[in-house]
Amino acid sequence: MVNKRYVARRFALMLASLFIVITILFFLFRQVPGGPMSAFTNPRMSQAARQAVIEQYGLNDPLWRQYIRYMVNVAQLDFGQSFYYGSSVSALITDRFLNTMSLMLTAFTISYTVGTYLGAQLGWLRGTAKERVGMVVVLFVRSMPVFWTGMVILYVFGFQLDVFPIGGMRESTASYDTTTAKFLSTDFLYHLVLPVFTLSTYYTGLPLLLMRNNILEVLSESYIDTARAKGLTNRRVLFVHAARTAILPVVTAFAIAIGFAVGGQVLIEQVFSWPGLGREMVQASLRSDYPVAQGAFALLSAIVITMNFVADLAYTYLDPRVRLGES
């Protein structure tokens, strides 16, 4: 089981990694050529106006002073104001984060549920014609670039058949009073179908292959023979005895995938005009909107680091043989 001292130490390490990541991000973005002022193009600002804005954002201070100010604010969970939007970075990122997570979590939940189940089945069916056909289909789908699949699906169901919307998160004329109403509306679910279908088709491959390989390994273990000898049904042997062991790496993969889900699927967000965090991160980097870019990447790293930790902890519950932090 989990050792409390170990958890505390891991937690401290996590904070240290985050500190390093945020520091690197701070300096990295400022090394990129171009500056935040150049986002104000057409007609561009006059020198005087530009100078005034630069001073307003404190960009004329020495870098080290800007850094200290930033770190002090971040420690208080204040990520500052976006140069581009002029509004609070936290509010902006929260909004885009919800959009992205509603898309990515739905897709991942579907892929990992379906993938794990089908993977186990394919492992069990090893050597049969069904398995060979199954593997070809999986590899085929997995090899298609996701943005391409997205465009084909959009073309067929959106452009040609006109049964699903061609982009965005809701009808142009729809407006909702609360965030909850927005995400629970059928309108939203309707817009979610195509991107989620595209993403889950693509992401199902990984847990499926992982599960299949693990099942193959586990099936050769002697406790499986014991289970069979007891006269258990195939189904019970597969899902209660074999799958429980085989699922461990899938859990890690799932946890890490969720971490990266924050970054969204930039290409899919682009194809389906989804106002997610992934596109925002790319745009913010191109616009040299440092506060937004830094905030978004910091959130991404924080979640990846945390999810890794969570995956480790989850192990100890799923597999009683695993003990963390004991030498």
Partner 1 sequence: MRKMGAAGAAIGSVSIAGCSGEQTTTTDGGGDDGGGGSGARVVEEDLPEERMMDDVIHLAYTEQYNPGRYQANRLVDQRLTDEMGIPTVTDPVEATVVSDREESGDYDIVTYRWSANNGEPDSIIVTRFASDGSENWTGFSSEEYDEIAYEQRQETDDETRQELVHEAQDIIGEQRPENQYLFNEYYYAFRSDRFEEDSVVVTDTGLRNIWNYTQIEPKNEEGNTIITNNWDPSDQLNPLNANAIGPSRNWVPTRFMHDFLIRTGPELEAQPWAATEWEWEDDTTVTFQLREGMTFHDGEPVTASDVVWTYEMMLDLEPPAYLNNVVQVVDSVEQDGDYTVTFTLEEPYVPFIKTTAGIVPILPEHYWTALMEETGTTEQPWQITIDDDNPVVGSGPFQWGTWDQGSRFEMPSFDDHFMAPNIDRRIQRPLSTSDAEMEALINGDYDLLDYWFGDTQQLQETVEENDSLGAIETLGSGRQSAWVNCQRPPFDHVPMRQAFNAVVNDTQQTIIDEAFDGFGQEARTFINPSLEFWHNEDTTFFDGGIEGATTILADAGYVWDEEGNIHYPEGMTGK
Q: Which residue carries 């693509």 as its tokens?
A: 202
Q: Does the protein bind partner 1 through residue 172 (CB under 8 A)?
A: yes
Q: Candidates 2, 7, 45, 110: give the one binding partner 1 (CB under 8 A).
A: 45
The one segment of 158-166, 235-243, 244-252, 307-315 that binds partner 1 by CB under 8 A: 158-166
Question: Quick one: 35 or 249, whose CB is closer to partner 1?
Answer: 35
Segment contacting partner 1 by CB under 8 A, of 115-123, 279-287, 295-303, 309-317: 279-287
CB of 113 to partner 1, least distance (A): 29
Among residues 229, 273, 222, 267, the alpha carbon closest in space to that of 245 is found at: 222
Of 308, 327, 208, the C-alpha closest to 252 is: 308
How many CB atoms are located within 10 Å of the residue 76 CB? 7
Q: Pick the closer one to partner 1 by CB: 40 or 197.
A: 40
The dihedral built from the CA positions of residue 200, 203, 205 and 210, taken in this order, carries a sign that is negative
To partner 1, the closest distance from the beta carbon of 256 in angstroms equals 28
Q: Which is nearer to partner 1, 112 or 274 (CB)?
A: 274
Q: 306: buried, middle or exposed (CB in 10 Å: 19+, 13-18, 0-12)?
A: middle
Could you tell me which residues come within 8 angstroms of residue 190 by beta carbon, excluding any fewer than 6 positions away? 164, 165
Other Cβ atoms within 10 Å of 293 Cβ, number: 24
Tell whether residue 16 is a contact of partner 1 (CB under 8 A).
Answer: no
- Stretch of 50-58, 199-207, 229-237, 299-307 lying at the interface with partner 1 (CB under 8 A): 50-58
b/e 16-37 (16+ beta carbons within 10 angstroms → b): eebeebbeebbeebeeeeeebb
DSSP 144: S
- The CA distance from 268 to 159, in Å, is 17
Contacts of residue 7, defined as CB under 8 A and 6 or more positions apart, other chains included, come to 313, 325
Name which position in 3, 38, 113, 128 contacts partner 1 (CB under 8 A).
38
Alpha helices per DSSP H over 144-204: 146-153, 179-184, 186-203
Which residues on neighbouring strands pair with residue 81, listed in sequence order? Answer: 88
Confirm or reject binding of residue 173 to partner 1 (CB under 8 A): yes
Work out whether 63 is an interface residue with partner 1 (CB under 8 A). Answer: no
Using CB under 8 A as the binding rule, whether residue 145 contacts partner 1 is answered as no
In angstroms, the CA 72 to CA 309 distance is 26
Under the binding rule (CB under 8 A), the answer on residue 175 touching partner 1 is yes
Is 118 among the residues that bind partner 1 (CB under 8 A)? no
The length of the chain is 327
Instruction: Provide the minimum distance between the beta carbon of 108 and partner 1 in the complex, in angstroms, as a whole number.
Output: 23
The DSSP line for 70-113 is HHHHHHTT---B-TTT-SBHHHHHHHHHHHHHHHHHHHHHHHHH
Site for partner 1 in 287-326 (CB under 8 A): 287-288
133/286 with CB nearer partner 1: 286
Site residues for partner 1, 77-96, by CB under 8 A, read 81, 84-88, 92, 95-96
Indicate whether 130 belongs to the interface with partner 1 (CB under 8 A).
no
- Interface pick for partner 1 out of 3, 11, 27, 34 (rule CB under 8 A): 34
Region binding partner 1 by CB under 8 A among candidate stretches 14-22, 124-132, 138-146, 286-294: 286-294
Binding piece for partner 1, criterion CB under 8 A, among 31-39, 233-241, 248-256, 305-313:
31-39
Q: List residues near partner 1 by CB under 8 A.
A: 33-35, 37-50, 52-53, 56, 81, 84-88, 92, 95-96, 154, 158-159, 162, 165-170, 172-173, 175, 269-271, 273, 275, 279-280, 286-288
